[in-house]
Structure 1
Amino acid sequence: MKKNIDLGLLIIRVAVGGLMLLHGIAKIGKTSFIAGLLSEKGLPGFLSYGVYLTEIIAPILILIGCRTRLSSIAYVFGALFALFLVHTNEILQLNENGGWQLELLGLYISGGIALVFTGGGKIALSHSNEWD
């Protein structure tokens, strides 16, 4: 069977971008929870609007393949921020099935990191820039 790396990268982009986009859409107009968490940590509440960049704009750009590497950096930053802001207590925990408690977030982060290194492939809106 012939390898099709570009199709594989498209599938990763759709999975990583599409699934995170749903999280971002669910947070539209509901950033007060995040602002409260930021305030508890001594950070300014306006940073809660970063969720729109990291969970809506970056995933859309990843999905369409526009500046995939740059968008993936923002995406991974947002996921790591969520990991350390909200899920710090769960980092070393296992779920009821023996898997890592944060396995979904771990898959988001690892998929995003993979796209930082690979780019979006040739089946993308743009693929000739160094940030693609």
Structure 2
Amino acid sequence: MNYTQNEKIKQVDEKTLVVGVDIAKETHYARTFDNRGIEYGKVIKFNSTREGFESFEKQIKEIAEIIGREKIIIGIELTGHYWYTLANYVNKKEMMLVQVNPYHVKRAKELECTK
């Protein structure tokens, strides 16, 4: 789908749990946030296996229920090929998956580090 910038922004509202996943070869890490950027729960560590993906799904759905979120958006940085298996799993579960530009991730990290 082709979205305008405003349409993309409107997808994340007060009913949305945003999950950022750092993709690696064997073990992935995820953090959960609300629409304002407030982090919920601890870092979620999961393996790139069916069992790991099922554990990840269970944990993010529990967090969403606890804080009253109806939608879940999972953001991943498309570096390498290790994201394919997670993307396939997420799509089969009909959760929303979005691509995050590596350049934007780098810039956001630079903003966080400067004080």
The TM tier, using the shorter chain, reads under 0.3
Which structure carries more strand by proportion?
2
Q: Which has the larger radius of gyration?
A: 1
Which structure carries more helix by proportion?
1
- Structure of higher RCO (CA pairs closer than 8 Å, 6+ residues apart): 1
